[in-house]
Amino acid sequence: MKIRVLTLAVLAGLASSAATADQLKKGFVDDAKVNVQFRARFEQVDVADTEDETTLRTRLTYQTGDIYNVFGLAEIDDVRSSNDNPAVPDYKYTEINQAFLGYKAPANTLVKYGRQRILLDNQRFVGGVGFRQNEQTYDAFSVKNTAVKDLTAFYAYVNNVNRIFPEGSGKEDHKNETHMLNLNYKGLSFAKVSAYAYMIDNVNVAAFSTDTYGIRAAGKQKFDDLTFNYEAEYAVQSEGGDNPADYSADYMLLRAGLGFKGFGAKVGYEVLGSDDGAAGFITPLATLHAFNGWTDKFLFGGKGNWENGIQDTHVILTGKVNGVKLLAKYHKFDSDYGDIDMGSEWGVAATYPFAKHYSVGVKYASFSAEDFSADTDKLWITLQAKY
């Protein structure tokens, strides 16, 4: 069935009767929500022949109230930048970030059709790259159902991925025929459990087409003032769509930590596997900046891995002092195949929200190369306002 036919599900709430002028006014004016956000950022990258860059993103979001259980959302982003630094993937642009119709269907079902934000689990496989000024969003038909207690079932058909690159770059859109299924159950006392299947069929870049199936568990246990937290995840991937490769690779994450009175420490081990050096487990729709180091040394053109795979042994420290949120990370990287020392990275960040609408953040990361890439340091200073 063509995706246009699926819009009938979104519009079904309007079919039974025509909305009166008062109902339209209530939905489009009285119950509407308007939000404005400004995010200014200074970014410094120590790569040869590049300049520091300052950007400002202005985001305007308008969401209607419900009209016979139907609502709409429109969101426009505008980014201004001081220059076109190729090492900083935040460019001048103005575009529609989100624009969709939603329908609150029976049996606790939410249907959306249009350009929308899709963030699944911890965004390791499907996310929005929210750190960058240009967010990744999806032209999709999606359904979320919460009729079964403690269970969230999500399905989406995606026909276009709006990537973080600007219009005219040739990299901004990837046409897709992609199916996403994610089941999340939080009824267990010891963990939230997710099972997922992501059948990515990238029409523009066949090498990004994959079939991925996995399961994830994350939970915590409290002992007086001490909290023990843990994560475990496993997935297997093979080629999908028209991908010319023939491979099978797996993904694994093990992470555990302790928290005490606002401070925490975690130790983790993550593997993006390799099929004996022929191909690696890739994550082309992930929020990559949040994983494998903030200097983004392992983007690999958006795939998030290379043919030799990545082993990431890491330590994460968190804390909060006088309202300032603190974060520190250390990563040691090795290849999954070929015994390659891929270097290490440490990074620190501090964020302070103030006066209800504002926040300021500073983040710094330093990558030390060994048998892969080159030494790199990055600094970000961000000021954000939300109304």
pTM of the model: 0.93
**Could you read off the pLDDT tens digit of each residue along the chain, which spans 387 residues?**
444 544 554 454 444 456 788 888 888 889 999 999 999 999 999 876 567 899 999 999 999 999 999 999 999 999 999 987 778 888 898 999 999 999 999 999 999 999 999 999 999 999 999 999 999 999 999 999 999 999 999 999 999 999 998 777 778 999 999 999 999 999 999 999 999 999 999 999 999 999 999 999 999 999 999 999 999 999 999 999 999 999 999 999 999 999 999 999 999 999 999 999 999 999 999 999 999 999 999 999 999 999 999 999 999 999 999 999 999 999 999 999 999 999 999 999 999 999 999 999 999 999 999 999 999 999 999 999 999
User: What domains can you pick out in the chain, each with its CATH number?
Assistant: 3-386 (2.40.160.10)
302 three-state secondary structure: helix
What single DSSP character describes residue 294? T
